[in-house]
Structure 1
Amino acid sequence: MSIYIKLADFADCQKICDMQRIAFYDILTRYSDYDTNPACETVEVIQNKFRQPFTKYYFIMKDEEIIGAVRIVEIDKSTRRISPLFILPQFQNYGYAQLAMKCIEEAYKNISCFTLDTIKQEKKLCYLYEKLGYLRTGKEEQLRDNMSIVFYEKKFQKTQL
């Protein structure tokens, strides 16, 4: 089994949109967050993000099958933001998100910091990022009575050659 990331093309926007709806549906129904949940993004929103010169979308691949996707946003020369990353439901709980994160970090090994955020009440997601070495920044945003966003970062030391 091989997990890797593959750069998506503009023509893939509809596919990414459809996948997001499936992947984030359970979280949407659990929190009724119709303002920020990626399941509510239209294909036009994804197309607009895709056109941003500082954004790249990748498919998460298992062998030759698409199992998820990730958007990487350039914040500055040394920092990238992961938003969102998702694995389709039928592929969840097999460790693929962890492997995908390692692929992303390897693909961007020249940068010194990754940032991301997730729902604080989703303990499984918080555990995943913390297990991979992401630290809470201390910043939190309350979006709903039952839903807060918690922010993470992971800093890397660049090795001298």
Structure 2
Amino acid sequence: MKGKVQLVRANEDDAEAITKMMVSVENNERKRWYEDGDGPYIPGFDSVDMQKYHQWNEAYFKILFDGELSGVILISHTGREHARLDRLFIDPSWQDKGIGSTVITLIESMYPQVKLWTLDTFQKSTRNHHFYEKMGYKLAGEDEYERYYFKTIEEESHNQDEYTCDKNFNHHNFRHCNMQNVDFYSVNLQGAHYTNMNMSHVVYQNSNLSHNRYTNTNMSHSVFGDSNMNATEICHVSMAGAYLHDIKLGTGKDKIPLVMERCELMGSSILDSNLQNLSIVNCNLEGMTIDGIHVSELLEVYKKQQS
């Protein structure tokens, strides 16, 4: 490959250029692999704000080829030895130059402590399947929409003082234990109970949390990103100051409307959102505005026209 590939942390000044590139990427994926107006689900691909948001942990890199923006890669470092390729996209005009292979090698050298890499990619993009398998990734599972891959990095034998491996703790009780900064990988925690626990700054990655119940739990400052929360029920929860953004209701036949009932939303704002066919029933609309116009005034005008 002729040309120099560099990884440079993205900043806010890069957001517009990255957004423009991501629109090209999405259009290319849609034309190449999808039919009938369907397309890949790339969260916030056309949002400048989303590109800025990805920079929160300083692991969003722009890929430069001979100094020009040619792609992006986003890393989620979830444990001392575990990390995830959240996104790796190359601009269509820069593909087939060996850039992606070089980027994978560079990332692995930047995070030498990571021994397990994971990712998911579009089910229909067979080009991606071949690429990741060529780079040493193995198929972990798949569903209708995505394929899930992992790659383990060969390492020297474990320091036995730091590892507990292949132990059966089924029905075991842990009391008054210091488990601060522990690292769990490939552990079956089904049916586990946590009570009177300090779980601040916990990170869940590639985990099945279906049917979980959180009660009397302080989850302030938590971040739920790139997660499947379909059919989740959130009730009796204080969400003061919560920031909900770039949320989808599923894709294709799995698109199911969100229902909010008996929620206190006083003073809240809904910005740049798709509210098509939104239904508001039996709600206190006092002071509510749409684009600066009071809803009460709009209703009064409507009632006059109907009388």
Once the two structures are superposed, residues 91-147 of structure 1 have per-residue CA deviations (whole angstroms, 9 ceiling, x without a partner) of 111221111111111111221111111112211110000001000112x232xxxxx
The ranges of structure 1 where at least 4 consecutive aligned residues each deviate by more than 3 angstroms after the TM superposition are: 38-41
Unaligned runs of 5+ in 2: 158-307
- Aligned pairs for 1:19-38 (under 5 A) are 19-29=21-31, 30=34, 32-33=38-39, 36-38=41-43
Aligned partner of 2:147 in structure 1 is 150
Alpha-carbon distance in structure 2 between the residues aligned to 1:21 and 1:91: 15
Is this contact kept in 2: 1:136–1:153, CA < 8 A?
yes
Give the number of the structure whose residues are more often helix, by fraction: 1
Question: Match for 1:98 among 98, 101, 120?
Answer: 101
Which structure has the larger Rg over C-alpha atoms? 2
Question: What is the CA distance between 1:83 and its match in structure 2?
Answer: 1.8
Number of the residue aligned with 1:126: 129
Deviation, 1:39, is 6.5
2:103 alignment partner, SS class = helix
Match of residue 91 from structure 2: 88
**Partner in structure 1 of residue 49 of structure 2:** 44
Could you tell me how far apart the structure 2 residues matched to 1:105 and 1:62 are?
18
Report the alpha carbon displacement of residue 37 of structure 1 after superposing the two structures with TM: 2.3
What secondary structure, in the 3-state scheme, does the structure 2 residue paired with 1:44 have? helix
Contact 2:8 2:63 in 1 (8 A): yes
CA distance in 1, matches of 2:131, 2:44: 21
Give the fraction of aligned pairs with identical amino acids, expressed as a percent: 23
Q: Which amino acid aligns with 1:125?
A: N
Letter in 2 for 1:11: D
Query: What amino acid sits opposite 2:27 in the alignment?
Result: Y
Post-superposition offset of 1:47:
2.4
SS of residue matched to 1:76? coil
Kindly indicate whether the alpha-carbon contact (under 8 Å) linking 1:78 and 1:112 is maintained by their aligned counterparts in 2. yes
The residue type equivalent to 2:155 in the other structure is K
Shift of 1:28: 3.2
Equivalent residue letter for 2:85: I
1:18 aligns with 2:20: yes
Unaligned runs of 5+ in 1: 143-147
What's the RMSD between the two structures over aligned residues? Answer: 2.1
Instruction: Kindly tell me the number of residue pairs found equivalent between the two proteins.
Output: 151
Secondary structure of the corresponding residue to residue 157 of structure 1:
coil
Q: Name the aligned partner's letter for residue 136 of structure 1.
A: L
TM-score (norm 1): 0.82
In the alignment, the residues of structure 2 paired with residue 33 and residue 75 of structure 1 have an alpha-carbon distance, to the nearest angstrom, of 29
Tell me which protein shows more strand as a share of its residues: 1
